[in-house]
Amino acid sequence: MPTDAPQPSFVLIRPQMGENIGAAARAMWNFGLDRMRIVAPRDGWPNPAADALASGAGRLLDEAEVSDDVASGIADRTYVYATTARPRELTKPVFSPEAAMADAAARIGRGEKVAVMFGPERSGMENADIAHANAIITVPVNPEFPSLNLAQCVLLVGYEWRRAVEAAPDMVMQGQTIDAADQRDIEALARHYEDRLEEAGFFYPDHKADSMKVNLRNLWSRMALTRADTQMLHGVLRQLLRGKTK
């Protein structure tokens, strides 16, 4: 059964190869989308060639809604986007994928039923298809090579959908020992190195010693050290000194 998560339907218009339909299903499920619709598939439906490329997303193929024409495929939708890489003479709002999916999330939040149409692999949708849409999604691709594979386009729009509905940090630190060193850890490390370097005569000449110590202390402060890092650096210094005394 489809998930309960509110989401747009992804409508594949006259897809030509079962493998691309399967890859599109996989791309959809990567981002939690499972409402696939297929309009007039060239090789009929079901298509065994789609199963291998779905790679774990076969349920989407089993539950896909199949229609004979575009009008039937989107009949129950209240707002429809059409993806295209080529400029069109039709007068419509043109969104980037990011803006389109933010708009789609807002519309779905208001109770609207949204669909995104994707054209055939070889030439994309015809103007007659796009005339059914309320808006266009255009990807800023290389103008000398604008054509995207069907699954690539589905993946790109699916990614932007996920970004629109699920906040994600721009960067997180991962690992087994990620606890940040606090100021006591940093101070102990700085003092350890300063004392040992003092004993080794590193701070020379005397009139530069204070500024050298400040610069060294500032070095530790600039580093994003974990507690594990400070423990290792203490150990490094102890081992170096132990080797010197042997």
Would you tell me how many other CB atoms lie within 10 Å of the CB of residue 101?
Answer: 26
What integer pLDDT is reported at residue 245 of this predicted model? 63
pTM: 0.78
Amino acid at 47: N
How far is the C-alpha of 204 from the C-alpha of 215, rounded, in Å? 14
Q: Among the three residues 135, 165, 195, which one is the final residue of a domain in this structure? A: 165
What integer pLDDT is reported at residue 44 of this predicted model? 94
Domain of residue 27, CATH code:
3.40.1280.10
* Residue 189 Cα distances to 21, 126, 168, 200, 222, angstroms: 58, 67, 34, 17, 13
How far is the C-alpha of 19 from the C-alpha of 50, rounded, in Å? 5
What integer pLDDT is reported at residue 177 of this predicted model? 67
Same domain, 155 and 49: yes
Same domain, 157 and 198: no
> Residue 28: CB partners within 8 Å, gap ≥ 6?
10, 34, 36, 57, 60, 154, 158
| Structural domain boundaries enclosing 238 | 183-245
What integer pLDDT is reported at residue 87 of this predicted model? 72
What integer pLDDT is reported at residue 167 of this predicted model? 82
Q: Six-digit token pair at 171?
A: 């960067």
Average pLDDT by stretches of 10, the chain with 246 residues: 89 96 97 97 95 94 97 98 86 96 97 96 89 94 87 97 89 74 94 94 94 94 90 93 73
Q: What is the C-alpha end-to-end distance of the chain, expressed in Å?
A: 71
Within-domain flag for 116? yes
Q: How many domains does the chain have?
A: 2
Same domain, 26 and 80: yes
Q: What number of CA atoms fall less than 13 Å from residue 203's CA on the CB side?
A: 18
Strands 9-13 and 114-118, by their bridges, are parallel
Within-domain flag for 223? yes
Would you tell me how many other CB atoms lie within 10 Å of the CB of residue 111?
Answer: 8
Same domain, 18 and 131: yes
